[in-house]
Amino acid sequence: MDIDTLPEESPAERRRQRVRTAILDAAERVFSKEGETGLSIRRLAEEIDYSPAAIYKYFGSKEELLDELKESFFERLMSTVDRAALTELPFEARVRQCFSKYVETAIARPHHYAAAFASTGNPDNLPEADTCWADFEKSNKGQAFMTVVGLVREGQEVGIFDASFDPFIAAKSLWASMHGIALLLIHLPGFPAILPTPDRGINTAEFIQFHAGLLFRSLCASPVSPACSGHDQS
Amino acid sequence: MDIDTLPEESPAERRRQRVRTAILDAAERVFSKEGETGLSIRRLAEEIDYSPAAIYKYFGSKEELLDELKESFFERLMSTVDRAALTELPFEARVRQCFSKYVETAIARPHHYAAAFASTGNPDNLPEADTCWADFEKSNKGQAFMTVVGLVREGQEVGIFDASFDPFIAAKSLWASMHGIALLLIHLPGFPAILPTPDRGINTAEFIQFHAGLLFRSLCASPVSPACSGHDQS
DNA sequence: GAATTCGGTGAACGATGTTCACTATTTGAA
DNA sequence: TTCAAATAGTGAACATCGTTCACCGAATTC
């Protein structure tokens, strides 16, 4: 959000951008593989063959650099969901697509997703409700949220979803459930496979589908479709 | 799991335990307030008026100490849910109790809960399915999970829940959804209050109830109860 | 051509987790 | 009681981390 608005084409500026993206690329590479623990300024500097202090000519702090990584990941995540939401598929399939795309994108880069939702450090910035929503709506988190709200509304208009739900609150519930399965898959090693009877085992993709089916069902106007909807379809 | 099984009553051992719990208490105090960032060995040592090296006579590493904090928190969380599951309440109320107790306990100690589910560091230990489940069942995570499985089974036997669900898979979905709302409440500042129309605002407790209602509904055999079930009951 | 900005560096600071040689005290047995 | 062994505790150090600062050389600007 600095000078990206109008990309100056001075040769110096071009060189600067090249080094900057080299740093970001190295950071992305390391962070994807080893997460925040493996990503140190010194290692980054070594990777691009500069001195550690050089990084600070391009980023104010390590946190600033990390924020940029998370930001661009979040944009990928969001655009993936948005693309799924704009498909021509029938409603339920479209909702399921959004859901599974979200979760799959999240667990494809576990460190990014987990880090993007880890900001417990600053519980100080809690402005009034107005400012809060305004900021939230503008953020990419807010945009993703509005996509989900739109889906809920559509389902209600078509008559598939129960119309008595507040679409905003329902969207929050949906988001929370998506968030939960994504993080559980990330943090619990071999999560969905763990079962007492291996013959009833379930792989990750099947479990995501099951979870999506459950969430869809929770919003449906009664009567609902049978429970096994969307399960055994490897 | 060391010598706790038979608590030796030697005076030396007693002194040792006193210092040990003093360390743990200080750690608990600091960690609750400031999380992992605020908790340093040196600060801990200063707090109990010892030298930093002294800590290592009682704990092998900082991680070991932290694990003990998380462990005892997890036991509190678990026993809270178990207690709620053993209530004499009618089925739906009991399920809701378990759900809200879980989430409330989680967000009462955000740093503990978040840290307890952050072990992406070691994706190496993925043994075969048998060992995996055996270990999982014995852990307190596994015990909590079995409590949820039991609830699902009971609902199916009573006829409230759809019997075609695999209770293990359904329990995983439920757990994921609980996990999601807990972490979203922890990480997103002022999460459920954010709404475009403040008159439809919702507080945390109401939102937890709404979410619980949605999850309950998702498992119900059709036809389901009306959507607003359990909402406006401040 | 002179002045000023800017990319880049090496050395350092403060803080972190952890180790290690070293006391001093306590414990257990002869 | 005496002596050896174990143990609690310490201070100094090591390696690593993020970050800063004075400094230098090259590019840009006037």
Same domain, B105 and B55: no
Instruction: Note whether residue B100 is domain-resident.
Output: yes
Same domain, A105 and A184: yes
Instruction: Note whether residue B21 is domain-resident.
Output: yes
CA atoms within 13 A on the CB side of A146: 12
User: Which of these three, B26, B42, B60, is where a domain ends?
Assistant: B60
Q: Is a pLDDT exceeding 90 seen at residue A142?
A: no
On whether any CB of chain A is under 8 Å from the CB of B205, the answer is: no
Tell me, what's the pLDDT at B139?
76
B170 touches B152 (CB < 8 A): yes
Same domain, A9 and A114: no
Q: Say which nucleotide is closest to residue B54, CA to C1' distance.
A: D9
pLDDT tens, residue by residue, B174-208 = 999 999 999 999 998 778 877 766 556 788 999 99
CB contact under 8 A, B173 and A126: no
Q: Say which nucleotide is closest to residue A50, CA to C1' distance.
A: C8
Same domain, B81 and B136: yes
Instruction: Note whether residue A103 is domain-resident.
Output: yes
Rg of chain B over CA atoms, in angstroms? 21
Show residues of chain B in contact with A180, CB under 8 Å. 175-183
More confident residue, A51 or A194: A51
Here the CATH number for the domain that contains residue B104 is 1.10.357.10
Residues 139-168 of A with CB under 7 A from strand D: none
Burial of residue A8 (number of CB atoms within 10 Å: 0-12, 13-18, 19+): exposed
Q: How many CB atoms lie within 10 A of CB B193?
A: 16
Instruction: Note whether residue A227 is domain-resident.
Output: no
**The Cα angle at residue A70 between residues A151 and A15, in degrees rounded to 5:** 125
User: Which of these three, A9, A36, A60, is where a domain ends?
Assistant: A60
CB contact under 8 A, A136 and B176: no
Here the CATH number for the domain that contains residue A42 is 1.10.10
Same domain, B30 and B115: no
Same domain, A203 and A94: yes
Domains contained in chain B, number: 2
More confident residue, A120 or A179: A179
Tell me, what's the pLDDT at B120?
52
pTM comes to 0.89
Q: Find all residues with CB under 8 Å of A52, minimum gap 6, and list them.
A: A41, A42, A44, A45
Same domain, A9 and A106: no
Instruction: Note whether residue A65 is domain-resident.
Output: no
Kindly report the nearest CA distance between residue A132 and chain B, in angstroms. Answer: 7
Same domain, A94 and A122: yes
Same domain, B79 and B46: no
Instruction: Note whether residue A224 is domain-resident.
Output: no
User: Which of these three, A10, A31, A60, is where a domain ends?
Assistant: A60
Same domain, A28 and A106: no
pLDDT tens, residue by residue, A180-203 = 999 999 998 777 877 666 556 788
**Cis bond before residue B167 (omega within 30° of 0):** no
Domain of A50 in residue numbering reads as 1-60
d(CA B126, CA B144): 21
